[in-house]
């Protein structure tokens, strides 16, 4: 049930916040470009290769956060992460990134022309070097405005570990 809600929210999100921790226990949270959710995976794009990247190299687990602006409910997605930096899957995903880049840039221009939103910049151009964080969705927590939490484990994934 929560997976369906999450699917609906992620369809219209361009960014998600990713939290990791360093080997010294230092927390790090940063926005990442949300490419897509496919089956039980989130695909996030990193073009900075900063602390998130370094932390995931050491400890490949992350917590991803998004908010539904309509309901103000937050969602936390926890899971293991595979870093995809090269190979055929990387090339295929980069093509999807470039396609989404074009669509998002066009959307921003149209919104400005129509006067529905004002953007400081239109171009959503990423550098050539990108890595993909493939987050395996293992647990979803819904955070309601009342403070009530609802958790859902994806048991079929946890059993495979």
Long-range contacts, stretch 80-89, CB < 8 angstroms, 24+ apart:
80/135, 80/136, 80/138, 81/56, 81/133, 81/134, 81/135, 81/136, 82/133, 82/134, 82/136, 83/53, 83/56, 83/57, 83/131, 83/132, 83/133, 83/134, 84/131, 84/132, 84/133, 84/134, 85/131, 85/132
60-111 tens-digit pLDDT: 999 999 999 889 999 999 999 999 999 999 889 888 887 777 676 666 667 7
Residue at token pair 């998600």: 16
3-state secondary structure of 68: coil
Higher pLDDT, 106 or 160: 106
3-state secondary structure of 155: helix
- Helices (H), ranges, the chain: 2-10, 51-58, 88-114, 155-158
Identity of the highest mean pLDDT range in 3-17, 31-45, 114-128:
31-45
Mean pLDDT across the stretch 31-42?
93
Higher pLDDT, 12 or 68: 68
Tally the domains of the chain: 1
The pLDDT value given to residue 4: 84
Whole domain around residue 115: which residue ranges? 2-158
The pLDDT value given to residue 130: 87
The pLDDT value given to residue 149: 92
Mean pLDDT across the stretch 101-123?
69
Higher pLDDT, 18 or 116: 18
Q: Taking 90 as the threshold, does the pLDDT of residue 24 lie above it?
A: yes
Which residue, among 16, 31, 20, 6, has the nearest Cα to 62 in the 3D structure? Answer: 20
55-68 tens-digit pLDDT: 999 999 999 999 99
Domain CATH number, residue 115? 2.30.110.10
Of the listed ranges 19-23, 55-59, 126-130, the one predicted with least confidence: 126-130
């Amino acid at each position: 049930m929560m997976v369906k809600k999450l699917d609906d929210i992620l369809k219209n999100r361009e960014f998600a916040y990713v939290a990791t921790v360093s080997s010294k226990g230092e927390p790090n949270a940063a926005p990442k470009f949300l490419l897509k959710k496919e089956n039980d995976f989130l695909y996030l794009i990193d073009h900075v290769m900063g602390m998130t990247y370094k932390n995931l190299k050491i400890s490949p687990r992350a917590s991803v956060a998004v908010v539904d602006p309509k309901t103000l409910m937050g969602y936390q997605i926890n899971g293991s992460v595979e870093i995809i930096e090269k190979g055929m899957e990387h090339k295929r995903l980069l093509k999807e990134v470039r396609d989404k880049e074009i669509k998002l840039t066009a959307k921003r221009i149209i919104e400005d022309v129509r006067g529905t939103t004002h953007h400081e910049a239109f171009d959503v151009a990423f550098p050539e070097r990108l890595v993909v964080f493939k987050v395996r969705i293992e647990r979803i927590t819904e955070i309601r405005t009342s403070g009530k939490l609802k958790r859902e484990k994806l048991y079929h994934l946890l059993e495979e570990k």
